[in-house]
C-alpha cells in the first residue's frame, strides 16, 4: 500500500510557493467532503467550502509573514488552514434560503483533534492546530469582545496569537466579500492588542500556577495579581479514553492514594458503560465530597473527555480549596482499542469512538498543574 502524502510534502515551498490542490484533494477525504457545501454568498461569494479552502491556502502561501517563518511553522499553519472549516459539512444549514454554519469553529476543533490523532501527529502540534481552529474567527471582530483578554491569553498558552492572526488573514483573503478591507484592519488591530498585552508571539506570563488557575476561573480578575495560595488538599483529576491506562498510571504515580473511580461505582451499582450514568456520577461526587471535607488527597479516575465534564470535578475540588493536578492520558487509537479488548469487561468499541468524537484535550487553563502523558511511550509533558 502506498502511503498518502503528508502535510510536509504537500505544503507549498519556495521559490514558487505553488499549491498542488489536486494532490491535496487526493490525500485527504475530509478535503473532498468540503466540495459542494454551500456558503453565505454575502461573506463567501467565491463558492463552496472547498473553493474557499483552496483560496485560503493559496492566500497563505502568498503571505510574506508566512514565508518568513521556519518550515515547521509553515507546515503547521498550512495544516490549520486546510482544516479550519473541516466541520462545515456537518454544521451548515439552509433555512428559508439563508445559509449558516453556526458552531463550526468549536466542532472543527473536535474534528481536527480526532483526525490528527488518527494520523499520529505529535500532541503539542495537534493541540496548537486545534486551538487555532477553535478561535479562528476571533480576530475578525476581536476588539468588540468583552472577554478578549481571556481568549487571547488562552490562545497564547495553547498556540500563538500571531499564528491566529495569520490564519485569519489567509481566511479573509481566501474569500470574495465586500468587507474584506475592514476585517483585515481588525486583524491588524488584534495583533497590536496582543503585542501590547505581551501575548502575541509568546505565552502570557502569570505570577504562579495558582494565579493562572484563579484568573481563568474569575471574571474580571487582574492577570498580574499574585493570588495567595490557600489550597489545603491535593486532588488529581484524570482524563482519557477507555483503555488509555488510567489504572496503571495511578498505581505507578499515586500509590496509596484514595481513588474515586467511576468504573468502580458503575460495577458496584450494576450499570453498563452505555447505560444511564446519572446515578454513577451522583455516587462518585458524594465520595469526593467526603474526602474533600476530610482534607484527604485522592485521584478522580474517569474518562472526563470534555472540559464541561472536567469542570464539574475541578469546580467541586476548587470549592474545597484543593490544589488540582489535571492529567491527560493519551495513546494511539489502535493501542487504545487493543488494550480495551484485554480488559475483563471491555467497553464497546462504538462507545470509545463516540467518546473520541467529543474529546477535548486537557489544557493549561484548567488546573494548577497540567500534565499530558503519552502512555504508549510513557512520556510526560509538563505544562
pLDDT value at position 383? 34
SS3 for 326? strand
Q: Which fold has domain 233-382?
A: Rossmann fold (3.40.50)
Shortest CA distance to 85 belongs to which of 38, 19, 147, 22?
38
pLDDT value at position 344? 84
Q: Which residues pair with 237 in a beta bridge?
A: 300, 326
Whole-number Cα distances in Å, 160 to 155, 206, 337, 339, 373: 6, 16, 33, 35, 22
pLDDT value at position 272? 84
β-pairing, 233-239 vs 298-301, is: parallel
pLDDT tens per residue across span 29-41 = 999 999 999 999 9
Which residues, at least 6 apart from 7, have a Cβ–Cβ distance to it below 8 Å?
Answer: 75, 76, 78, 79, 82
Query: What are the start and end residues of each CATH 1.10.3210 domain in the chain?
Result: 7-196
Shortest CA distance to 94 belongs to which of 38, 142, 166?
38
Give the integer Cα–Cα distance in Å for 275 and 280.
10
CATH architecture of 7-196: Orthogonal Bundle (1.10)
pLDDT value at position 4? 76
Give the integer Cα–Cα distance in Å for 2 and 379.
30
pLDDT value at position 104? 97
Query: What are the start and end residues of each CATH 3.40.50.300 domain in the chain?
Result: 233-382
Per-residue burial over 282-296, b if 16 or more Cβ lie within 10 Å, else e, is ebbbebbeebbeeee
pLDDT value at position 254? 98
Total count of residues recorded for the chain: 383
* pTM summary value: 0.94
pLDDT value at position 187? 98
β-pairing, 98-100 vs 93-95, is: antiparallel
Residues of the chain with pLDDT under 70: 1-2, 378-383
Which region holds residue 17: left if phi is over 0, alpha if psi is between -120 and 50, else beta?
left
pLDDT tens per residue across span 132-179 = 999 999 999 998 999 999 999 999 999 999 999 999 999 999 999 999
Q: Phi, psi (5° rounding) for residue 362? A: -65, 150
pLDDT value at position 380? 39
Amino acid at each position: 500500500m502506498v502511503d498518502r502524502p503528508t502535510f510536509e510534502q504537500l505544503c507549498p515551498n519556495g521559490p514558487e510557493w505553488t499549491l498542488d490542490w489536486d494532490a491535496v484533494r487526493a490525500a485527504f477525504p475530509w478535503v473532498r467532503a468540503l466540495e459542494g457545501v454551500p456558503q453565505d454568498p454575502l461573506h463567501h461569494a467565491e463558492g463552496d467550502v472547498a473553493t474557499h479552502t483552496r483560496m485560503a491556502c493559496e492566500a497563505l502561501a502568498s503571505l510574506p509573514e508566512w514565508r518568513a517563518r521556519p518550515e515547521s511553522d509553515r507546515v503547521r499553519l498550512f495544516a490549520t488552514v486546510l482544516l479550519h472549516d473541516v466541520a462545515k459539512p456537518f454544521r451548515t444549514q439552509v433555512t428559508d434560503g439563508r445559509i449558516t454554519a453556526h458552531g463550526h469553529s468549536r466542532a472543527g476543533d473536535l474534528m481536527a483533534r480526532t483526525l490528527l490523532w488518527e494520523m499520529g501527529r505529535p500532541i503539542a502540534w495537534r493541540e496548537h492546530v486545534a486551538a487555532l481552529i477553535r478561535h479562528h474567527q476571533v480576530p475578525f471582530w476581536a476588539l468588540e469582545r468583552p472577554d478578549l483578554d481571556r481568549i487571547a491569553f488562552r490562545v497564547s498558552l495553547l498556540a500563538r496569537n500571531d499564528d491566529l492572526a495569520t490564519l485569519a488573514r489567509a481566511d479573509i483573503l481566501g474569500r470574495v466579500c465586500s468587507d474584506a478591507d475592514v476585517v483585515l484592519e481588525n486583524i491588524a488591530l488584534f495583533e497590536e492588542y496582543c503585542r501590547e498585552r505581551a501575548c502575541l508571539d509568546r505565552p502570557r506570563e502569570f505570577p504562579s500556577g495558582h494565579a493562572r488557575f484563579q484568573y481563568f476561573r474569575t471574571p474580571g480578575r487582574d492577570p498580574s495579581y499574585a493570588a495567595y495560595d490557600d489550597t489545603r488538599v491535593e486532588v488529581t483529576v484524570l482524563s482519557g479514553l477507555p483503555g488509555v491506562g488510567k489504572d496503571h498510571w495511578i498505581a505507578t504515580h499515586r500509590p496509596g492514594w484514595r481513588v474515586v473511580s467511576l468504573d468502580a461505582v458503575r460495577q458496584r451499582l450494576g450499570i453498563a458503560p452505555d447505560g444511564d450514568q446519572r446515578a454513577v456520577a451522583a455516587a462518585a461526587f458524594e465520595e469526593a465530597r467526603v474526602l474533600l471535607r476530610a482534607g484527604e488527597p485522592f485521584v478522580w479516575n474517569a474518562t472526563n473527555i470534555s472540559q464541561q465534564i472536567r469542570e464539574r470535578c475541578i469546580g467541586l475540588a476548587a470549592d474545597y480549596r484543593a490544589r488540582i493536578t489535571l492529567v491527560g492520558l493519551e495513546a494511539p487509537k489502535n493501542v487504545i482499542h487493543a488494550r480495551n479488548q484485554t480488559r475483563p469487561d471491555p467497553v464497546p468499541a462504538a462507545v470509545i469512538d463516540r467518546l473520541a468524537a467529543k474529546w477535548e484535550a486537557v489544557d493549561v487553563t484548567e488546573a494548577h498543574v497540567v500534565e499530558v502523558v503519552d502512555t504508549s511511550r510513557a512520556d510526560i509533558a509538563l505544562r
